Homo-oligomer: A and B are copies of this chain.
């Protein structure tokens, strides 16, 4: 346990770029969606995720895990979106304690209207700014970063 093993320049640049790009990108998309359609990035992602799921519905926990969101946070957001008519709550067929969040027709319509602008923004601030090689590095490297953290979450017995 010597002293802090500080990041060197090369490492620091990668780290700082990652952290600040992440913050800026998220903020940017949030604004774009909010101005365009009055949706938060989280709400857009919820709609997208539900829309892709077969039958357009997912259990709350499943949804929370995919979105990397706390359970209570999801309860709140689904509540908001239900008020807005974008999703409905439905009881899970095979489990009385389960709840399904389901996208509504209005939800799908909203998503369709929001998608073009959103995807365009994603291209403009992220995809198009990167070379194919860099995109591959993102997919591979950051995919590994994500999986590593996700694993240790359930692994439980860390340390």
Q: Could you list which residues of chain A lie within 8 angstroms of chain B, going by C-beta atoms?
A: 1, 3-7, 10-11, 13-15, 17-28, 68, 115-116, 119-120, 122-123, 125-127, 129-146, 148-150
Contacts and interface: CB of A to CB of B under 8 A. Distances in A.
Contacts of A1: 116
A140 B145 contact: no
Contacts of A28: 149
Q: How many copies does the complex hold?
A: 2
B142 A3 contact: no
A126 B18 contact: yes
Contact of A17 (B3, B23, B127, B143): B143
Nearest to A140: B134
Given A5-B119, A15-B138, A17-B143, 11 more contacts: A7-B122, A10-B135, A14-B135, A15-B127, A17-B139, A19-B25, A21-B149, A129-B148, A130-B144, A134-B140, A135-B141
B25 A115 contact: no
A126 B135 CA distance: 17
B15 A122 contact: yes
A119 B20 contact: no
Given A4-B119, A116-B3, A144-B129, A139 B22 contact: no
B22 A135 contact: no
Contact of A18 (B10, B24, B116, B142): B142
